[in-house]
Each structure stands twice: as C-alpha cells, then as structure tokens.
Structure 1
Amino acid sequence: MTGDSLVVRALRLAAGILGGVALIVLPILSWDNPGFGLGNYFSYFTVLSNVLAVGTLVTCAVAPAPESRCFTWIRGLATTCMVITGVVYAALLSGIDVQLNVMWINRVMHLVLPIVLALDWLLVPGAPGRRSRWAQWLIAPLIYGVYTLVRGPIIDWYPYPFIDPREHGYAVMSAILVGVFAAMALFAFLVDRAGDRSAKRTTAQAL
C-alpha cells in the first residue's frame, strides 16, 4: 500500500474529518460548563495529540508528500503521541472524569484515532529512519510535562490526576511520572521499530 492510493487517501481524509469534528464539537458542547476554557482544553495531551493526528491525516490525504525522512518523522511523532494517548487512557484514566463525557468523542479520541494512526503507520510505511528517531519523538511529551507542571501551580489546575502533586505529593507523582515516561519511551521505540520493519518488508516485496 502507498500513500498515493485513492483508497488510502480517502480513508485518511475520513478519519481526519471525524477527528476534526470531535475536536470542534466537544468545546461547543462544553462551553457553558463551569470551569471550561480553551486554555485548559488545549492543555490536555489528548487534545494536542488529536490535533497533530488530524493535521497529519488531512495533509496526507489532500497533499500526499513524498515519503521523505522528514515527513515520515512527523507521521511517527503523531503515531507515537496517539498510541501513548490510547494506552495511558486505558491504563490510568478510564473511568476518571477528564471533562470528556461525550461517549462517541471519547472513543474517537482515545480509541479510533490511535488505532487508525497505528494501522496507517504499519500498512503505509514511510522512509526508514535513524535508530535515534524514537527518542526524538519523546521531546513532545517531555515538553508537555514541563508545561503542565509549570502552568499547574500558576492556575491551580492540572489536566490529569497522575500529574497533580496536590493529590499525592511530589514524591508519589514523580514516581508515577517516571513510570509513565518509561512506558512512553517503550511505545515510541516499538512504533519506530514496527515502522522500519514494515518499510523494509515493502521495499523487499517491490524488488
């Protein structure tokens, strides 16, 4: 399968539109809720990851770029962030109120798009990358973590319980974050290796 395939482009566009609708509808439905604000809305890793995923899918669909290393790196970053979003939600946040109570939107953001990005990465491989590529993808969640920990005390609000030191103190929170980041590193590594194996398999079949 290639990114220029009409079927692939159509599926990417459909998934991108679905994700875009979810991102737009949620704040509209939540606008009158106490405590809701766009600043907090765009401070959720889930929302930021889905914005990146939607942008990547739509770009791939309407203007498929050559499978260069740069473009593949962006796809890998989006895939990594979405895999992290889905797995962390299932492991730590399922059943917890994170202001995402509309069921179909919840499923689109935490289940559908992570699966779509993962399958797209595996079935439509890009250019193989360097072995350090997976580590570079961790820059995004690292920056997000720093931003959240700096912003949290200023506005007295944190998007997720496991990153909130007011709940269990800094020692427990730090231990949880070390575990979460270690898991993120593993997911990024697995995404990278899976993409490279898929790309090599596609190249071998073409020869």
Structure 2
Amino acid sequence: MRDVADSRPARWWHALTAVVCAGALILQLVLVVQGAQVLTTAEPPGLPTRLLRFVSYFTIQSNLLVLASVLPLVRRPSYDGPRWRVVRLDALIGITGTGLIHWFFLRPLLHLTGGPYVADKLLHVVVPLLAVVGWAAFGPRPRIDRRTVALSLVWPLAWGLLVVILLGAVTDWYPYPFVDVGVHGYPRVLLNIAGVGALLLSLAAGLAVIDRRGRRSADSTPDLRS
C-alpha cells in the first residue's frame, strides 16, 4: 500500500501550508515596519525595537517553525532527520498552543480591522489549522520518540527565560498581557509560564501517542501490491 506521506496531495498540502505561513509572516512584518500596534495603543518605538519585538513573539516563532518544518516536506513528504524531528514537533505544539491561547485568552482583547485583522487570523487560526490537519492527514509518521519530546521542550523554556524574564527585565516590555510582570508580578507570571509549559508538554505527549498508534495501524495494514 502506498504511503500517504508520499502522495501528491501531501505535497500540495505542505506547499499550501508553506505559502500561507510565509505570506502571513511577510504581511505581519510589513505591518510592523509600518508601525502597526497590537495589544497596545502606545506610540510605537523605533524600527530596531519593533523588529526585535516581532521576532520575540511566541506566535511568530511558532509560525517560523511551521515554515521550517514543512519546506522539506514539499519536496519529500516522507522526510526525516533527528534535528528536523525536533523542529517538527516544536512547530506542532507551538502552533497548536498559539491557536488555543489566542482563541480563548487573547482574541477577546483584540479589536482589529484591515491588514492587522487578516494577519492575526492567518497567524493564529489558518496556519494552526493547516499545520495540524496536514500532520494528522499526511504525517509523516512515526517521527516522535521520547528524545524528540524532551528536546522539543528546550525552545519554549528558552523563550520563557530569554524573552519573558530577561528581555522583559531589561526593556520593561512583555509580549502578552498574561506574562506582564509589571502587572501581575513574578510569582503569577511564572505560574502562567508553567501553565503554558504544561500545555505544550501535554500536547507533545498526546502527539507522541497518536504518532505511535499511526505506526501500529500502518504496520497492521496488509500490503496489497502484487
């Protein structure tokens, strides 16, 4: 039986995901350069600061990981490699967490129109759906083992330490309201970060289970080729 990961629909889906993700990132970058503000009405800072903040958002990093993980799949949908496995899992848990946190906690705070609205929906809704559905439908699997799960936690932990704790302490800027130390204090912010970490770990564990079950299902399917 032909591996679904190597099918033409898989290539097209991964290509669509890459195009939409790249387009969303470029659109958001253009808005940042133009000085568009999200989650704040304050006067925008200088361009270097805006660009630093742009790459500091968990949303942007998650979308960049999605793009990096699907590009090899456009050429070879059954692609594999130890480093790529970590990037792929980080992309999946990051973009899923991005979608969930945005939908339930940040979306009610936003009142966007025009380009910012389009970029917001692409980054927080469309790309997460494309990435997760693409993984569920086309894999490739199996690609998630215990080592991959463990290494996938390095990035979100580094984000919490470098962006929220260190960058926030130096610049007094925080990417999201729920990690604003000036408003909530360190104990509450650390608790919120721990909650996000628990969510991402749960997502990684859940994806690992599905990944293994997908392999067992494939192994139990008879080969119908003559």
- Please give the range of the TM-score, normalised by the shorter of the 2 chains: 0.7 to 0.9
**Unmatched tracts of structure 1, length 5 or more:** none
- Report matched runs for 1:60-75 at 5 Å: 60-64=73-77, 66-68=79-81, 70-75=83-88
Q: 1:21 to 1:75 in 2, by over 3 A?
A: same
User: Which residue in the other structure is 1:12 paired with?
Assistant: 14
Report the count of equivalent residues: 207
- Report matched runs for 1:88-107 at 5 Å: 88-97=101-110, 102-107=116-121
The structure with the largest alpha-carbon Rg is 2
Using the size of structure 2 for normalisation, the TM-score is 0.81
2:188 corresponds to which of 162, 168, 172? 172
User: Per-residue displacement from partner, 1:43-81 (whole Å, max 9, x unpaired)?
Assistant: 001001101101222221034453455544432221111
Aligned mates of 2:192, 2:16 — CA distance in 1: 36
Answer with 124-133 or 22-31: which moved more: 124-133
The one-letter code sitting in structure 2 at the alignment partner of 1:151 is: L
Q: Is 1:133 paired with 2:148?
A: yes
2:162 corresponds to which of 147, 152, 155? 147
Answer with 120-129 or 22-31: which moved more: 120-129
User: Which residue in the other structure is 1:39 paired with?
Assistant: 52
Aligned mates of 2:126, 2:202 — CA distance in 1: 21
Does structure 2 retain, via aligned residues, the 8 Å contact 1:128–1:200? no
What do you get for the CA RMSD once the two structures are aligned? 2.4
Instruction: Please report how far the alpha carbon of residue 26 of structure 1 lies from its aligned counterpart in structure 2 after TM superposition.
Output: 1.4
Instruction: Please report how far the alpha carbon of residue 190 of structure 1 lies from its aligned counterpart in structure 2 after TM superposition.
Output: 1.1
Secondary structure at the counterpart of residue 102 of structure 1:
helix
**Unmatched tracts of structure 2, length 5 or more:** 36-43
- Report matched runs for 1:41-60 at 5 Å: 41-60=54-73
The one-letter code sitting in structure 2 at the alignment partner of 1:5 is: S
Sequence identity (%):
24
Does structure 2 retain, via aligned residues, the 8 Å contact 1:22–1:105? yes
Using the size of structure 1 for normalisation, the TM-score is 0.88
Aligned mates of 1:170, 1:99 — CA distance in 2: 30
The one-letter code sitting in structure 2 at the alignment partner of 1:10 is: W
Q: Is 1:76 paired with 2:92?
A: no
Instruction: Please report how far the alpha carbon of residue 99 of structure 1 lies from its aligned counterpart in structure 2 after TM superposition.
Output: 9.1
User: Which residue in the other structure is 1:118 paired with?
Assistant: 132
The one-letter code sitting in structure 1 at the alignment partner of 2:181 is: P
